[in-house]
Structure 1
């Protein structure tokens, strides 16, 4: 499993709850984080390189736990690798289907909102529902730092969420895997009348389906490995307790 950084841990939590006996390796591409401002070509190349690395490490299934990386690179990865590859996409389809007001918002990175895949999702699944795309500028960096509740984080979220309250939006799609870690603040500002759509549980169900009938490795206890492409693993190790509630050792794996 990999993400541009630590956001994919929201997917990691759902997958490890669904498959407690399976060992999972999580790679955070913190040397290149955030992906949002980067070009689609660069993100696609990086996604393929990381997935090749994980396959070479013995992965039997890869989860691209990043909406931006999925939009840019999942097709290239699936064409290059023979193992199952699960991507993550904004939950536009269920949000649009459940919307009563006919207006939903998608919060995501700039790269995701500018991608052809996002345009395709809206065209195929939104129907007559109005979709209001909004970039969460600076949000990824706040999650990477484990800064989930500070006044500055609150300000960044309020700048995006508060204006939506006058737009008759009844669903907010969390279109970046970092954003569920900011959901408590988003919920506080949005109120109970707006549904937050997070695809993590759906991704976990998909993973379970793909490995149905297979057995985990003989190693007991479902060992979890955490890797970062940053040269210094200590910042990631320091933030893990704030995001997933546990301390784990982190290994540095700089990739070309």
Structure 2
């Protein structure tokens, strides 16, 4: 079984890509909505919570764990790899390919404040940005709008425009999406940028990495397309109502108390 978690529903952008790449594998997705969003929490909190979630998913016979959250990856992926005996796949902004492809020498990374301020992102910049200038911008309120299912409301459009519109005057030619919630807002971003600015969503690269690791570790699908969706919130209805919008079909949702 492939397991993945996020603070909320953003990681479903990764779920879609993994399911399309590995359609015969069972996948368990856990949305830690009782603690959402992670972006405003301390590194210590995020590590402790990620370990609790990771240990639960490992106990459910996971063959591999996807940390489908940029904030949790930057804060906790090292701790997860230290404490769990299964392959761990994290997500991070596509700074390397964006910087390599830039012709203007200026790119943008959109992510939560916690991700943008992390040592992991700074290490990516130091290693891959070179002479390219990288503008780091938080998507203020974006996670909350996706969690609420408001992918095209007036407020969502205003919040996206407040971040993206100023970038159009900055001579950037690539935008790396550094939060798994943000791809759900790609249509609104694209309306503002047009086709002249490339958008980097890491979902397909993550799916290829999952496939590669499963093959390396000799893991075989049990042939059961069982998809589990779990929320740590007491009420499952909000998540259940969002699944058709975000992954194209409905599914039962379980509630899990991890306290």
Alignment of 1:187-202 (within 5 A): 187-202=190-205
Equivalent in the alignment of 2:6: 3
Q: Is the CA contact 2:11–2:181 (under 8 Å) kept in the aligned structure 1?
A: yes
SS in 1 for 2:131: coil
Gaps of 5+ in 2: none
1:102-113 correspondence to structure 2 within 5 Å: 102-113=105-116
Task: Give the distance between the partners of 1:108 and 1:254, measured in 2 at CA.
Answer: 28
Does the 8 Å CA contact 2:63/2:219 hold for their aligned counterparts?
Answer: no
**Moved >3 Å (runs of 4+):** none
Deviation per residue, 1:53-104 (Å, 9 max, x gap): 1001110100000000000000000000110000000100010001110000
- Aligned mate of 1:90, from 73, 90, 93: 93
Q: Which residue of structure 2 lines up, in the alignment, with residue 54 of structure 1?
A: 57
Distance 2:105 2:134 in 1: 9
Q: CA deviation at 1:254?
A: 1.6
Residue 226 of structure 1 corresponds to which residue in structure 2?
229
Give the CA deviation at 1:42: 0.7
Shift of 1:214: 2.5
Output the TM-score relative to the length of structure 1: 0.98
Separation in 2, partners of 1:231, 1:217 = 31
| SS of 2:258 mapped into structure 1 | coil
- 1:186 aligns with 189
SS at match of 1:105: strand
Indicate the RMSD between aligned Cα atoms, in angstroms. Answer: 0.7
Aligned residue pairs, count: 254
Gaps of 5+ in 1: none
